Structure 1
Amino acid sequence: MALSRRRRRRCRALVLGALLSLAGTYLCYSLLLFCCAPEPEPLASGEAAAAAAARAASPRTAARCLPAAAAARKKLLQKWRACPAAASSTATAGNGSSSPPSPPPPPASRSVGTKRLPHALIVGVKKGGTRAVLEFIRGHPAVRALGTEPHFFDRHYERGLEWYRRLMPRTLETQITMEKTPSYFVTREAPRRIFNMSRETKLIVVVRNPVTRAISDYTQTLSKKPDIPTFEGLSFRNRSLGLVDTSWSAIRIGLYALHLESWLQYFPLSQMHFVSGERLITDPAGEMGKIQDFLGIQRLISEKHFYFNKTKGFPCLKKATPGGTLPRCLGKSKGRTHVQIDPEVIEQLQDFYHPYNVKFYETVGQDFRWE
């Protein structure tokens, strides 16, 4: 009996000692955490204001609410959480440090509208003034035009209309899609291919005195290939006999009446508009007015939008700016000085082109006065 009481006392002592040991360990661990935990970092003025606003809005959670930027710097043991976004933004607006969040920006202009196949094409002619017409008409809000020459109907037709459509700029339902490739006019397959795309396509042809056009063509080629033969040498198969070499592209392009025959097999003259390259220089507003009428758009490009550049020798657009107007001319390659050609050669070529010019005038019902 006495042995049993002693055992019970011993067991109580062991249990009490174990409990005291555990209590001491927990107390030491708590003291260690309390002493070693880092102090909260001071808040910036904006963050302090946000925290104050959060405490006022929600007293129950205020002690553990910080702006996200400050909460991210807190240690895990402190168990701080980020304030709601609304509280932070309200506080920021309240202290005047920044304006309220602005609405998302509208979609970029390039994503507005739909890419469509062209309604109108500038099909020719090379060195006639096609680039000027394109740049002038692009100033109209009802027109969106491709800036480069895609050469779809003469070089890349096998790629398909879908490939061609994707090249086009985006347009609204009320806008006209256009592109320019001057070589179409002298490409035999181009009229049929364009007709197959849309028989309603409107065609713009910029023509110029074929002799002047040929000299301009040669001048451009000479600037890239200085070693080519002379203009006279390329123009004639036999100059003494007056035999003109129509196999040379610079000469062949000027046979407008012959090229036009291919187009009239597919398109009526009512869907074709012929621009005078000469009048485009002397009266750009007049020629652009006719083009706008042909396209069925309001005459917005007028005389007040042009000025004459004496250095280049042709008109330039005035581009509106917040501070006034700034001139906008074509590139450096435009308006280059032509090479000097023997007047006798020019006269021979004028005689050669004369019957073709007369036929062209009669066909289109317009006298361009190239003689």
Structure 2
Amino acid sequence: MALPDFLVLGVPKAGTTALHAALSQHPGLFLPQVKEPKFFLSEGPPPARGGPGDAQTYQEHVWRRRDYEALFDPAPAGTLAGEATPFYLYDLDAQNRIRRLLPKVRIIVLLRNPVDRAHSNWTHLWAAGLESERDFVRACALEAERRDAGWAQFWHYVSLGRYGEQLAHLFGLFSRDQVLLLRYRDLRDSPVATLDRVCEFLGVETGLVGLVPSENVTPFVADTPVNTALRAALRTGGRIGHHFPVPLRRVVRDPLLSALQRQKGGRPKLTPEQRRAVLPYFVDDIARLEEITGLVYRDWLTVGLEPEVID
């Protein structure tokens, strides 16, 4: 069977795409071109409802096991195969499925300050034209309502960042020595040392990869009347686009998206006031995370701003 030896399973907007790109350069590792196959998120038919663009996202899932195994068929003999789907940590059912199929798998988890992660998540959907709420704090407050309406996991700005809950479940399924826990800032500030840690954890030669490219970085999108109209059009497409073939969807969507992202400049900044408003969602979970891991994350309780380099 062609199945992965390791998984990067958390978290969204914490550098997993960049880590995937970096590890793909290692001669002893194989990662498929399909980043985020989402196989372990899938069981049964896709949900019948969701938020803007969710139906298209479900179409991107690798649903069938034979298709998932086919992703790893090209792996050269002697290499370790892996994939990166950062929603696996959040989805506890996915964790259970991984345990049943891959009990010996090695697991890499990247964690990011949950407030910054949530803001980057919101910025990503805003820049894609799918997020209608222009106020980040309000968007976080809408999560319960959106969850009840069946919106997909990427809209769960707050819940995705409650890592203590997620790791408590993970450590109940896998031994601690199967899990490498990293921080986003490790990859951002010390890429060579961090990649060597990953390679050592996987049991492949260190010193062969040291460049972490800027991948999946959200572009600047201003809040203007023209962009409001473009975002409305993209959200409409997000709700009905799954009824049309992918090439036709792209013919319509791509010019709209290019127009929306036409401006250059700095991304929306997370203000201290926004941070103070959102931080209470995470305070208790940060304490639980420290208790579970024995590591210190209390710097996440400050109101200082985190520099953005990679996503």
TM-score, normalised to structure 2, is: 0.66
Identity rate of aligned residues, in percent? 22
Matches within 5 A, 1:221-370: 221-225=125-129, 228-229=132-133, 230-236=135-141, 249-301=156-208, 305-306=210-211, 315-316=212-213, 329-330=214-215, 333=218, 337-368=266-297, 369-370=299-300
Question: Is the contact made by 1:192 and 1:266 (CA closer than 8 Å) also made in structure 2?
Answer: yes
> How far off is 1:337 after superposition?
4.3
Amino acid at match of 2:215: L
1:176 is the counterpart of 2:80:
yes
Which structure exhibits the higher relative contact order, with contacts defined as CA atoms closer than 8 Å and separated by 6 or more residues? 2
* RMSD (Å), alpha carbons: 2.7
> What SS does the aligned partner of 1:273 have?
strand
* Aligned residue number for residue 126 of structure 1: 12
Change (3 A) 1:291 1:274: same
Matches within 5 A, 1:22-101: none
* Aligned residue number for residue 155 of structure 1: 42
* Aligned residue number for residue 55 of structure 1: none
* Aligned residue number for residue 208 of structure 1: 112
Highest CA radius of gyration, 1 or 2?
1
Change (3 A) 1:226 1:191: closer
> How far off is 1:268 after superposition?
1.5
Question: 5+ residue gaps in structure 1?
Answer: 1-114, 238-242, 307-314, 317-328
* Aligned residue number for residue 96 of structure 1: none
CA–CA separation in structure 2 for the residues paired with 1:118 and 1:152: 12
CA–CA separation in structure 1 for the residues paired with 2:97 and 2:107: 13
> How far off is 1:244 after superposition?
9.3
Kindly indicate which of the two structures has a greater share of residues assigned to strand.
1
1:218 is the counterpart of 2:114:
no
Amino acid at match of 2:278: L
CA–CA separation in structure 1 for the residues paired with 2:8 and 2:44: 17
**Equivalent residues, number:** 230
Question: Is the contact made by 2:11 and 2:111 (CA closer than 8 Å) also made in structure 1?
Answer: yes
CA–CA separation in structure 2 for the residues paired with 1:334 and 1:359: 34
CA–CA separation in structure 2 for the residues paired with 1:164 and 1:287: 28
Change (3 A) 1:246 1:334: same
Question: 5+ residue gaps in structure 2?
Answer: 46-62, 148-154, 221-264, 302-311
Change (3 A) 1:337 1:183: farther
CA–CA separation in structure 1 for the residues paired with 2:106 and 2:219: 26
CA–CA separation in structure 1 for the residues paired with 2:200 and 2:179: 12
Question: Is the contact made by 2:10 and 2:85 (CA closer than 8 Å) also made in structure 1?
Answer: yes
CA–CA separation in structure 2 for the residues paired with 1:245 and 1:364: 32
Amino acid at match of 2:39: F
> How far off is 1:245 after superposition?
8.3
CA–CA separation in structure 2 for the residues paired with 1:161 and 1:296: 27
> What SS does the aligned partner of 1:293 have?
helix
* Aligned residue number for residue 27 of structure 2: 141
Question: Is the contact made by 1:154 and 1:184 (CA closer than 8 Å) also made in structure 2?
Answer: yes
